[in-house]
Amino acid sequence: MSARILLLGLALVVSALSLVHSRYQERRIYSQMERLERLSQQLQSDIENLAVQRAALGVTTRIDGVVRDQLGMVPIRPADTRDFRPEARR
């Protein structure tokens, strides 16, 4: 009888330790899931911000302003064009 009680006591301790371990794993995984969800939300926010910035950088009027101000380029005028006609070979 004492062996049975000892075996049942051992089974109870193993069961209790197993329960504690599974609860610990559950909390750890839940914490990791929450952290990954926050990271996902942050990355989604970054993607949206970058899309807005890309759209702003691609606006034609902005590009024209940069070309004129920083590069000093101007539209071509007919007076600025020259014809190039190679001489005929003899």
Predicted local distance difference test score (pLDDT) of residue 90: 64
Query: For residue 86, what pLDDT band results from cuts at 50, 70 and 90?
Result: confident
pTM for this model (two decimals):
0.56
Sequential DSSP letters for the chain: -HHHHHHHHHHHHHHHHHHHHHHHHHHHHHHHHHHHHHHHHHHHHHHHHHHHHHHHHT-HHHHHHHHHHHH------GGG-----PPPP-
Domain parsing of the chain, residue ranges: 2-68
At 7-32, the pLDDT tens digits run: 999 999 999 999 999 999 999 999 99
At 43-80, the pLDDT tens digits run: 999 999 999 999 888 788 888 888 888 888 888 888 88
